[in-house]
Amino acid sequence: MTSNDDLDDIATLLNRDHADSLLVIGRGLISAETSSAELVEVTYDHCRLLVVCNGLTNEHRLDFSDAQSTLDGVRGELFELVRSARRSSPGLGHTALEKIVADAERLDEREARVVARCDLSPGLVELTFAGLDEHQDLGGDEYVRLSAHGTSAFFTVRRRRCLRGEVDVWFVVGTGGAWSTWAAQAMVGERVLISAPRATFDPNTDANHILALVDASGLAASARILEEAASASAVSVVASVDEPTATAIFGAERSSRVRVVDPRRRYGLLNALEEYGELSVDEHRTVVFGAGESSEMRAIREHLRVHHHLARERYSVHGYWRHRY
Ligand X SMILES: Cc1cc2nc3c(=O)[nH]c(=O)nc-3n(C[C@H](O)[C@H](O)[C@H](O)COP(=O)(O)OP(=O)(O)OC[C@H]3O[C@@H](n4cnc5c(N)ncnc54)[C@H](O)[C@@H]3O)c2cc1C
- Output the smallest distance, CB 9 to ligand X, in A: 26
User: Which span sits near ligand X by CB under 6 A: 52-60, 103-111, 176-184, 271-279?
Assistant: 176-184
- Output the smallest distance, CB 244 to ligand X, in A: 16
Q: State residue 285 phi and psi, 5-degree precision.
A: -125, -10
Binding ligand X by CB under 6 A: which of 55, 93, 176, 189?
176
Indicate the Cα dihedral angle 145, 18, 64, 314, nearest 10°.
70
With contact defined as beta carbons under 8 Å apart, do 156 and 142 qualify? yes
321 lines the binding site for ligand X (CB under 6 A) = yes
Distance separating alpha carbons of residues 268 and 184, to the nearest angstrom: 26
Site string for ligand X, 180-219 (x = CB under 6 A): x-----------------------------------xx--
Question: What secondary structure letter does DSSP report for 71?
Answer: H
Number of residues that bind ligand X (CB under 6 A): 23
- Is 143 or 211 the residue whose CB approaches ligand X more closely? 143
- Output the smallest distance, CB 180 to ligand X, in A: 4
The DSSP element (H or E) to which 240 belongs, if any, is: strand 234-240
- Is 129 or 179 the residue whose CB approaches ligand X more closely? 179
- Output the smallest distance, CB 284 to ligand X, in A: 28
Binding ligand X by CB under 6 A: which of 177, 197, 203, 268?
177
Binding ligand X by CB under 6 A: which of 64, 129, 170, 289?
170
Distance separating alpha carbons of residues 181 and 185, to the nearest angstrom: 7
Distance separating alpha carbons of residues 135 and 52, to the nearest angstrom: 44
Distance separating alpha carbons of residues 90 and 178, to the nearest angstrom: 11
Using DSSP bridges, classify how beta strands 315-321 and 209-215 pair: parallel, antiparallel or unpaired. unpaired
- Output the smallest distance, CB 145 to ligand X, in A: 9
Distance separating alpha carbons of residues 132 and 208, to the nearest angstrom: 34
Site for ligand X in 47-106 (CB under 6 A): 87
> At 89, which amino acid appears?
S
The residues of the shown chain that bind ligand X, judged by CB under 6 A, are 87, 143, 153-156, 170-172, 175-180, 216-217, 220, 320-324
